Amino acid sequence: MTTTVQHLINGVWVGDPETERRNPADPGEVATISARGDESTVQDAISVAAQAQRAWATTPGPARGAILMDAADLLRQRHADVTRDLVREEGKTLAEATGEVRRAIDVLRFFGSHGWRLPGQTFPSSLPDTTVLSRAEPLGVVGLITPWNFPIAIPAWKMAPALISGNAVVMKPAELTPASATHLATALVDAGLPAGVLNVVHGKGSVVGAAIARDPRVAALSFTGSTQVGLGLHEVLSSRRARVQLEMGGKNAYVILDDADPVTAARIVAAGSFSLTGQACTATSRVYCTPGIREAFLAALAKEAERFAPGNGLESGTGMGPVVSEQQLATDLAAIKRAQEQGAQVVTGGAADGAFLSPTVLTDVEHHHDVAQEEVFGPVLAVLDIADYEEGLARVNDSDYGLTAGLCTTNLVHAHHFAANAQVGVVKINRPTTGLDLNVPFGGVKDSSSNTFREQGPGAVDFYTWSKTVYIGHDS
Ligand code: NAD
């Protein structure tokens, strides 16, 4: 069954569905067929958003929040269909997709309740009979551009703080996964979101995304995707002094020390590397082992990898879904081949059957090899040797990226030292690099992020608001 997807502009679904997206696990099936927007579609969306935003901004926070809460309830009622569509267009397993749709529901609830707690403060004044306060003002129209790998959770964690703060939104979901974000938008419309407050335009990034980024009526852009595209958008937004938030690629490292349990370490690393087919920005892709644990860790890792048997995400027994696209598969296989040319040994996996790439473990990798430096974005893990903790920390930090990093140890001193000194946005001690709660700040440093504002958690609204200081004298 094919899901048709249209643009949402001014509360109306428009555009002829024309772009086909095939199910990566079953290429004979057309998963979605979506409308293809252009510059004029984007301009229409921005115009109606600018108009709708004024009334939305004066709607009380709790009333805005009630709509987000109702949308969460609707998504909950529809979750079976939404989850199925997510698997069919993105490929992840049913369990992974179920978790992701639940995350979107919880994000709507979290920011819905935030309508009662929108920021604003009073301050003591040095002047008599004077009240000083700050107001958190919405920015106006904000643009959101999202990737395919979390096709409903990322739109939710951008949209919800933007809307609860009183902004209107123009959003562009990834071309590969148009249906998931559209389900989210549908729930918000059905919950009573006023026309024009949320607009969704589908189509190519270089056309639709670029048009959103350069329009002077868009006060801010929140982008998640590749570092290459993100840095280009940074230039565009900075040149017109608009606010920009970028969350981008990663080359996330794990350090395993001799004092750790090798089986536990393998479980943690495999979960971080192979769940979501390794297609998570936070996925573990390089591991540094001290000599005393290396062999036992590798043996346990090979066993753990068996639990990630690739297959169709809708079928029971599937441990890992397909690679999302032919292009991504070619990238993954090229990275494995290049690693072998540079001297790496494939000890597990390394081959694909159609879109199904086996979880792949490489050894004999040097820190300067491409596979230890460049993001692959697939289930490909490089295992490297280190002499001790100090060398491991240095290797972790010797990277262009800085999203997540982990340490497996029972040594408290090393755990705290690592937390203080790893140059990443998220540190995980004895936990997989993937997976964060929705109430904690999320983001990276270096080439992983604009490192301006964090996403998720209560602080997520900071990106979508500006602070106005107000003095009120009351002595007359
Ligand atoms: P991508 O950069 O190719 O695309 C992301 C979005 O940008 C898509 O909607 C795309 O259409 C749009 N886009 C592409 N070119 C554009 C342009 N010139 N102007 C405006 N928009 C444009 O990334 P992807 O392949 O969808 O996602 C994978 C990447 O996303 C990986 O690098 C991954 O690490 C990263 N990612 C990061 C996070 C994070 O939070 N740090 C989370 C998920 C994914």
DSSP secondary structure letter of residue 461? G
135-172, pLDDT tens digit by residue? 999 999 999 999 999 999 999 999 999 999 999 999 99
C-alpha 257 to ligand 1 mean position (Å): 34
Whether ligand 1 lies within 6 angstroms of the CB of 215 is answered as no
62-107, pLDDT tens digit by residue? 999 999 999 999 999 999 999 999 999 999 999 999 999 999 999 9
pTM confidence score: 0.98
C-alpha 327 to ligand 1 mean position (Å): 14
333-357, pLDDT tens digit by residue? 999 999 999 999 999 999 999 999 9
C-alpha 254 to ligand 1 mean position (Å): 24
pLDDT confidence of residue 403: 98
Ligand 1 probe mutation, 92, 145, 223, most atoms within 8 A of CB: 145
Phi and psi at 407, nearest 5°, equal -140, 130
Dihedral, CA of residue 253, residue 256, residue 262 and residue 265, to nearest 10: -40
Indicate the pLDDT class of residue 404, thresholds 50, 70 and 90: very high
pLDDT confidence of residue 226: 98
Whether ligand 1 lies within 6 angstroms of the CB of 146 is answered as yes
pLDDT confidence of residue 475: 87
Residue 454: closest CA among 161, 242, 250, 227 = 161
* Alpha-carbon gap, residue 88 to 371, rounded angstroms: 30
Nearest CA to ligand 1 atom 39: 247
C-alpha 474 to ligand 1 mean position (Å): 52
Nearest CA to ligand 1 atom 26: 147
Residue 448 CA: nearest ligand 1 atom is 41
* Alpha-carbon gap, residue 279 to 273, rounded angstroms: 9
Whether ligand 1 lies within 6 angstroms of the CB of 250 is answered as yes
| Degrees, nearest 5: CA angle 76-80-81 | 105
Residue 247 CA: nearest ligand 1 atom is 41
Whether ligand 1 lies within 6 angstroms of the CB of 328 is answered as no
Quick check: 68 and 112 in contact, CB under 8 A?
yes
Residue 178: closest CA among 30, 70, 66 = 30
Q: 305-333 burial string, b = 16+ CB within 10 Å, else e?
A: beebebbbbbeeebbbbbbbbeebbebbb
CA 313 vs CA 125, 303, 359: distances in Å? 60, 21, 15
Whether ligand 1 lies within 6 angstroms of the CB of 145 is answered as yes
Catalytic residue among 280, 281, 314, 408: 281
Whether ligand 1 lies within 6 angstroms of the CB of 206 is answered as yes
Domains of the chain: 3-248+449-473 (3.40.605.10), 252-429 (3.40.309.10)
Active-site residue flag, 281 = yes
C-alpha 226 to ligand 1 mean position (Å): 4
C-alpha 190 to ligand 1 mean position (Å): 28
* Alpha-carbon gap, residue 10 to 14, rounded angstroms: 10
If one counts every other C-beta atom within 10 angstroms of the C-beta of residue 237, the result is: 21
**Residue 160 one-letter amino acid:** A
- Written as six digits, the tokens of 387 are 């002499």
Residue 250 CA: nearest ligand 1 atom is 34
